[in-house]
Amino acid sequence: MLHTKNIVLFDGICNVCNGTVNFIMKHDRQHKFYFSSLQSPLGQQVQQQTGHQLDSILYIRQNKVWNKSNAVLYIAKDMGFPWSLCFIFKPLPTSLRDRCYDFIARNRYKWFGKREQCRVPTAEERQHFI
């Protein structure tokens, strides 16, 4: 659909989302992942083309867009061992996994707070951002 790179699209003002991006970058030994906020032109384009909303992480992988719990599971799988062990939850019904995801997504600002503006990557991080 859009890219051949593995791209994580995240809510740029969400603290837990930014923490997740930091975690992925820290453990991305093979430099597989690129990042962009959902508020960016790319993020808005993908949301418009797919109908996904700002309340879900999106993961572009092998030219397919994954959202919610599927996005999280495929990111974990692509991070390699030990994170790939999370993929054992894939056989659970998507509706069940997404209900858990939605519960956290609905409360993320209340529990973890939010930023006044979208994340600005540091000079070191820029190579990972689109």
Measuring CA to CA, how many Å separate 5 from each of 1, 15, 48?
11, 25, 19
- At 76 the pLDDT is 97
- At 14 the pLDDT is 92
For residues 5-31, average pLDDT: 92
CA 62 – CA 96 distance, rounded (Å): 25
**What contacts 44, CB < 8 A, 6 or more positions away?**
38
Least Cα distance to 6 among 84, 96, 79 occurs for: 79
Query: pLDDT digits over 73-119, tens only?
Result: 999 999 999 999 999 999 999 999 999 999 999 999 999 998 888 88
Q: pTM score, two decimals?
A: 0.90
